[in-house]
């Protein structure tokens, strides 16, 4: 992949990070305001629109053009080889409530989740950065990481509960130790770092914009990302499909989550 495209991705993520941090000091009271309906059909919050506008400012005029897929604006076809798959704020509810667990997520690919070549997830409140390049591993704050070969003796899972729970997550909630944290991209990155053993969304709820970057991050760290049936997850780079997810360190943990 062209170094200019990777540099553009990092620049965009950092611009969104800084812009949202600044807005948190000046306009936090506006963050939860509905300002329209996004291309994905859900209400657009002020913070989502702000973050996406910052990103689009830098994506609208690079010397190497890219296509853009984002939850609010949808797909922008610039007749380019690569598509930037952007979730300007993953964990909007957390952000609007002042819960410091939300990210900007950006992946670079062509047609599907399987051909994503570069992924970045940045924790906006802390500044922690997860980055992966296909075939070159996963990095956390510039240090290479890998999922432990042997999980902790007491498994820790993060689950999508509330209205999105299903039989899988309900069963897991009654076993071992569980969390429900509210940012798919960051929860999957925590699987990559070994902080979590398993992340599960049972219902078909997530779009590719939510998980494109973090899927590569988990896989390059040695983990597995499957759908809720336990099959390797792949989906097109569109907003048309939703999916469940099981992210884990190995195939045995995928089976355990579904048992």
**Which whole number is the average pLDDT over 11-33?**
92
CA distance 104 to 147: 22
More confident residue, 134 or 40: 134
Task: Using the predicted structure, report yes or no on whether residue 209 has a pLDDT greater than 90.
Answer: yes
Q: Output the pLDDT for position 72.
A: 84
| CA–CA separation, 47 and 211 (whole Å) | 19
Q: What is the pLDDT of residue 71?
A: 84
Q: What is the pLDDT of residue 81?
A: 93
- Write 57-65 long-range contacts (CB < 8 A, 24+): 57/15, 58/8, 58/11, 58/12, 58/15, 59/8, 59/12, 59/84, 62/4, 62/8, 63/4, 64/2, 64/4, 64/5, 64/8
The model's pTM is 0.94
Q: Is the pLDDT assigned to residue 41 strictly greater than 90?
A: no
Q: Given this model, what pLDDT does residue 186 score? A: 98
pLDDT digits (tens, 9 = 90+) for 184-208: 999 999 999 999 999 999 889 899 9
pLDDT band at 62; cut points 50, 70, 90 = low
**What is the average pLDDT across 57-73?**
86
pLDDT of res. 27: 84
**At residue 175, does pLDDT exceed 90?**
no
Domains of the chain, by residue range, sit at 3-145, 156-258
Of 77-81, 136-140, 149-153, where does mean pLDDT reach its minimum? Answer: 149-153
Choice between 118 and 164, residue whose per-residue pLDDT is larger: 118
Report domain 3-145's class: alpha beta
Q: What pLDDT score does 104 carry?
A: 98
Q: 125 vs 153, which has greater pLDDT?
A: 125
Q: Is residue 160 pLDDT above 90, yes or no?
A: no
In CATH, 156-258 is 3.40.190.80: yes
> What whole-number distance in Å separates Cα of residue 112 and Cα of residue 215?
12
Judge whether residue 161 has pLDDT over 90: no
Q: pLDDT above 70 covers what percent of the chain?
A: 99
Structure tokens at 170: 């309900």
Question: What is the pLDDT, as a whole number, of residue 247?
Answer: 97
């Amino acid at each position: 992949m062209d170094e200019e495209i990777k540099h553009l991705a990092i620049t965009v993520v950092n611009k969104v990070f800084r812009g949202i941090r600044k807005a948190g000091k000046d306009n936090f009271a506006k963050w939860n305001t509905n300002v329209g309906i996004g291309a994905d059909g859900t209400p657009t919050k002020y913070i989502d629109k702000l973050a996406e506008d910052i990103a689009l400012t830098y994506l609208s005029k690079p010397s190497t053009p890219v296509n853009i897929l984002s939850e609010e604006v949808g797909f922008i076809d610039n007749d380019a080889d690569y598509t930037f798959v952007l979730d300007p704020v993953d964990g909007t509810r957390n952000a609007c409530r002042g819960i410091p667990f939300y990210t900007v997520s950006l992946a670079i690919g062509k047609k599907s989740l399987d051909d994503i070549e570069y992924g970045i997830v940045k924790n906006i409140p802390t500044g922690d950065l997860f980055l992966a390049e296909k075939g070159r591993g996963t990095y956390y704050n510039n240090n290479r990481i890998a999922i432990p070969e042997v999980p902790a003796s007491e498994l820790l899972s993060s689950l999508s509960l509330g209205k999105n729970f299903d039989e899988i997550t309900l069963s897991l909630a009654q076993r071992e130790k569980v969390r429900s944290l509210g940012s798919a991209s960051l929860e999957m990155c925590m699987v990559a770092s070994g902080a979590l053993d398993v992340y599960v969304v049972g219902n078909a709820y997530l779009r590719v914009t939510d998980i494109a970057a973090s899927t590569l991050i988990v896989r390059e760290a040695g983990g597995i990302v499957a759908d809720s049936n336990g099959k390797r997850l792949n989906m097109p780079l569109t907003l048309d499909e939703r999916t469940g997810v099981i992210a884990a360190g190995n195939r045995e943990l995928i089976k355990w989550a579904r048992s």
